[in-house]
Structure 1
Amino acid sequence: MGSEYEKQIEEQQTTAEDAVDESQAEQAQADSTEGDNASVDNERNAWEREKEELVNKFLRLQADFANYKRRNEESIEQIRLTANESLVFELLSVIDNFELAINSATEETSFVTGVKMIYQQLMDCLEKAGLQALNAVGKPFDPNFHAAVINEGDTNGELIVTAELKKGYLFKGKLLRESMVKVGPKQQEEDEE
């Protein structure tokens, strides 16, 4: 009986050991599954961070490109404006010569009429492009727009423009050439009227 009892105890021990082994295996598998879940969570978090970084990088690149495009368009417009301004400035001497020719004509011939028409057509085109003549005569002297080349009388007080020797022009609101003017005291002009 002793051997049977020992055998039974051995079987129970083996069964208990098997149960413990099985329990440990299940625990290891559960730990492994939890580890796998944690690993999957970590990997998912890493992917989420990377996705967020890429989205942010894309948005920054998109904003940078929009800024580049805007700056490029502004630069092109500035180049166009500068080129137009330069061309119009060169044409001012042509305008001056037209005015001299028209003013020096002694009689109104068909030739003079044709020159006046060409001059007017040129001025209309330039005005559409943004050229504007400064009308200085009778206005207060402004050194920002006028260059006084002749002074009449006392120049200590407020001065007005008495004559325009060479017209000044604005191009798109910016001074292109100042007027060359003759100035005199304001009261002298008022006394003459």
Structure 2
Amino acid sequence: MNENEKPLEEAAETEENSAEEKKSVDELIEEAMNAAAGEDTESDEDDAVSEYNDSASEYAELEEQLSEANDKYLRLYAEYDNYRKRTAKEKADTYSNASAKCIEELLPFIDSFERSLDTECTDEHFKKGMDMIFKQLQDFLSRMNVTEVEALGAEFDPNVHNAIQQQEDTDYAANHVCAVFQKGYRIGDKLIRPAMVAVAV
């Protein structure tokens, strides 16, 4: 090898080494970028998982709070509904008891009125006036939901009949009311006064 070819060979080797070094640097840069990208991906995934867990925990907490609030509402509504029903019943009972007491005090006057109508009267105008007044009284009792207790001919019922005697009577079956001495009354389903009766045997 002559002296002129030696520098050319050295230059070629230098260029080859530079190319290898450049390739090595490029590979290192690419590896670094890939590693960084991988770390970013893992970091994003970790952040997403963490955010999801936080959201799930918050949702569960809100769901529990909603369930507790709903339970409180249902209990409060049930208490209010019971209170409303109780007060409505108490109001109805108070009105019914007051009405029953008023009618009970009125019954002796009704009894006397009926007995007076059974008495013979020669004054037709007076009798007609009494009949009209009694009709108005009966209309008032009807509006107050007051009814007579079924008695004559009915089977004896100790809940609504007060038997003061027993007697033989072929017109009525045994254990049936054969005579009424005093009418009984009820207001709605509430008994005001039992009927005073005789029972056939």
1:46 aligns with 2:54: no
Give the match's secondary structure for 2:159.
coil
State the distance in 1 between where 2:96 and 2:143 align.
14
**Structure of larger gyration radius:** 2
Q: AA paired with 1:104?
A: T
Q: Describe the superposition over 1:139-163 as per-residue Cα deviations: whole angstroms up to 9, x where unpaired.
A: 4433333222233359xx9244332
State the distance in 2 between where 1:158 and 1:79 align.
40
Verify the 8 A CA contact 1:105 1:112 in the aligned structure 2. no
Task: Give the % identical residues.
Answer: 29
What RMSD over aligned residues (CA atoms) do the two structures have, in Å? 3.9
Structure 1 runs not aligned, ≥5 long: 1-15, 186-193
Structure 2 runs not aligned, ≥5 long: 1-30
Deviation for aligned residue 1:95: 0.7
1:175 aligns with 2:191: yes
Match of 2:18 in 1: none
- Normalising by structure 2, we get a TM-score of 0.64
Give the match's secondary structure for 1:162.
strand
Q: What is the 5 A alignment of 1:34-183?
A: 34-153=49-168, 158-183=174-199
Q: AA paired with 2:102?
A: L
Q: Describe the superposition over 1:31-83 as per-residue Cα deviations: whole angstroms up to 9, x where unpaired.
A: 56644542343223212221232233223323433343233323322322222
State the distance in 2 between where 1:86 and 1:56 align.
44
1:142–1:44 Cα change, 3 Å: closer
Give the match's secondary structure for 2:135.
helix
- Normalising by structure 1, we get a TM-score of 0.66
1:45–1:153 Cα change, 3 Å: closer
